[in-house]
Amino acid sequence: MAKVGVNIKHKIRTASILLLLSNLVLFSYADNNETFSLTVKIDSLRNSEGVVRFALYNIDGSIPDMKYKKYYKIQDQIIDEGSSSAIFKGLPKGNYAVSALHDENSNGKIDKRFIMPLEGVGFTNYSSIGLTNRPNFSKASLELNTDMESSIKINYF
């Protein structure tokens, strides 16, 4: 009889340990798969022509990206009374930067005269852009660890 009692205690202890380990794995898995959304808004566009191209970046050195080859996600959004917005969903925790182009002729590219854009451009965390204030990922990036909202100021040259 004593052997049966020890066997039951051993099985209960083993089951408790397995339950604890499975809960740890489950909670760890849930944390690693948690995603967030980033809402980006733009006001004060000079007109409501075309679309706004929002490009999301998640790698250092990826901006500026004049030909849209290094983005993580991209969206073209309509303009309503000089404003536009985009929502990027399902983003894992991390650092992200967003560029925005007021693509007035809806051709999907940044039209330029010499080196200056003919259409409005902007980046998260930038109120102005110029030769001495060129955008880079580290300055433009936002740390995303919860659902977040940000705004971009569009600069016209």
In a domain, 157, yes or no: no
Domain that residue 80 falls in:
35-151
Regarding whether 136 and 99 lie in a shared domain, the answer is yes
Regarding whether 98 and 23 lie in a shared domain, the answer is no
In a domain, 130, yes or no: yes
The per-residue pLDDT for range 23-78, each reduced to its tens digit, is: 555 555 445 689 999 999 999 999 999 999 999 999 999 999 999 999 999 999 99
Q: Tell me if 115 sits within 8 A of 99, measured CB to CB.
A: no
Output the pLDDT for position 151: 98
Regarding whether 118 and 70 lie in a shared domain, the answer is yes
| Residue 110 backbone class (left: φ over 0; alpha: ψ -120 to 50; beta: rest) | beta
pTM for the full model?
0.79
Tell me 109's DSSP state: S
Alpha carbons 48 and 39: distance in angstroms, whole number: 20
Alpha carbons 40 and 79: distance in angstroms, whole number: 13
Regarding whether 101 and 25 lie in a shared domain, the answer is no
Regarding whether 86 and 11 lie in a shared domain, the answer is no
Regarding whether 70 and 14 lie in a shared domain, the answer is no
